[in-house]
Amino acid sequence: MNNNIEAETLLETPIEQQKIEIVERKGIGHPDSIADGIAEEISRNLSKMYLEKHDRILHHNTDEVQIVGGQATPEFGGGEILEPIYILLVGRAVTEVNGKRLPYKSIALNAAEEYLRDTCTHLDLDRDVMMDCRIAQGSVDLRDVYDTSTSNANDTSFGVSFAPFSDTEKVALEVERYINGPLKKDIIEVGQDIKVMATRIGNEIDLTIAAAMVDRYVPDPDHYKSVVEELKSRVHDEALKLTDRDIKVDVNTADNYDNGTYYLTVTGLSMENGDDGSVGRGNRANGIITPFRPMSMEAAAGKNPVTHVGKLYNLASKLIAEDIYEEVGDKVHDVFVRLVSQIGKPISKPQAASIQLVVPEENDYSKELQKAEAIAEEHLENISDITDLVLEGDIQVF
């Protein structure tokens, strides 16, 4: 057993029994989420290119995407974009090997464009977006490249996660996915920029939803109001499938119908009109923002999936926490996992791995603690499996 793995019990009020809980989910069209998505898609495509050409993932980090909001004049029935959105691709990557240049810049630009095309369906990439790639680094000799089978941490950092999700956390995440998923077939007026703030007070979960409306599908104020009411009703019904708690839903509370203020957009995105975005300012690696839970400020999106612990440890801690809860959840309330690396040391051997089981009472939990440590040990020994999950897009990173 790795002697740096320590499991212990905690006696504290579990999240579901606390009086207040706050959870945020920034949807896929939020400018911070778009920055995350572009950064991650570039990293995945660079990784695949490196593997194809050199049988290994070369060093890169593309986690500095910046979005500068444009200017638009949305109107009922259809407005226009006045100034395009500016997207800057920033980061570091191996640009040539043994003196031979690699197509890193075209890979990055194509990946970003494809991501926007798939995610932001009302965005005209030729008209509405300016993109600039400033990713750079330099050349390497393959003899000096790290061996991915014995990867060492490239940073001293930590990853954090927990399990299981509370009702409020599940509702915040799944409501956004519902709006940006199945509901789109029925309510085409709603764009991709969705933000869900879930506030639980006692037994009631209040959902405050900001939903950008696509102006070309909204001919007049009455139609807008009807869409808001339908969205509230449909979200309320969907949320009730996820919890037995009471649900209250508010949509676009900044609207002021008397003053003619409506959340109208040309593209369904707030970044068309001044809202900026950056990697790492949005959802954590588990897809939500949870001020009542342990969190890392580290951005996972765009970091290389081989040696960057800012990515790997946040993803690994999530998988470890989920597996531990699945194994011992009948005996505990919550599982917290924290992993910390030491730069230059093997990723599979963290400097410390903390596992905390929130238990209902003082008792003998030695068997559960042993199981927890064994699960963490197995995940760490096979941490390279996360690289494959990332490359195939089979694991959430924001």
**Domain limit, last residue, from 224, 250, 272:** 272
* 398 occurs within a structural domain: no
Residues sharing a CB contact under 8 Å with residue 26, sequence separation 6 or more, in sequence order:
32, 33, 195, 282, 283, 289
What's 164's DSSP letter?
S
What is the value of pTM for the model shown? 0.94
Residues 160 and 171 in one domain: no
Domain of 178, in residue numbers: 167-272
- Give residue-wise pLDDT tens across range 332-370: 999 999 999 999 899 999 999 999 999 999 999 999 999
Task: Please tell me the distance from the alpha carbon of residue 101 to that of residue 362, in angstroms, as a whole number.
Answer: 62
Tally the domains of the chain. 3
Q: How confident is the model at residue 1 (pLDDT cuts 50, 70, 90)?
A: low
Q: CATH number of the domain that 137 lies in?
A: 3.30.300.10
Tens digits of residue pLDDT in 220-256 = 999 999 999 999 999 999 999 999 999 999 999 999 9
Give mean pLDDT, residues 119-142.
88
The radius of gyration of the chain from alpha carbons, rounded to an integer in Å, stands at 23
Contact status, residue 28 vs residue 282, Cβ threshold 8 Å:
no
Within-domain flag for 138: yes
Contact 59, 94 (CB under 8 A): yes
Task: Supply 367's token pair.
Answer: 């068997």
- Let me know whether 111 and 254 are in one domain: no
Give the model confidence (pLDDT) of 86-102 as tens digits: 999 999 999 999 889 99
Domain final residue, candidates 229, 251, 272: 272
- The chain-wide mean pLDDT, for the chain, equals 95
Q: Among 57, 62, 61, which residue's Cα sits nearest to residue 145?
A: 57
The sign of the dihedral angle between the CA atoms of 241, 122, 87, 37 is positive
Is the CB of residue 135 less than 8 Å from the CB of residue 94?
no
Note whether 268 and 316 are same-domain residues. no
Does some domain include residue 93? yes
- Given pLDDT bands bounded at 50, 70 and 90, which one contains residue 138? low
384 and 293 within one domain: yes
Q: Check if the beta carbon of residue 277 is closer than 8 Å to that of residue 34.
A: yes
State whether 160 and 173 are in the same domain: no
- How confident is the model at residue 150, as a pLDDT? 55
Q: Comparing C-alpha atoms, which of 248, 226, 225 is closest to residue 235? A: 248
Asked if 180 and 329 sit in the same domain, the reply is no
Domain of residue 208, CATH code: 3.30.300.340
CA triple 289-133-48, angle to 5 deg: 75
- Whether 265 has a pLDDT exceeding 80, the answer reads yes
CATH of the domain at 352: 3.30.300.280
| Domain identity same for 237 and 314 | no
Q: For residue 99, which amino acid is it?
A: G
Q: What is the mean pLDDT of residues 123-150?
A: 75
In a domain, 307, yes or no: yes
Q: Judge if 97 and 197 occupy the same domain.
A: no
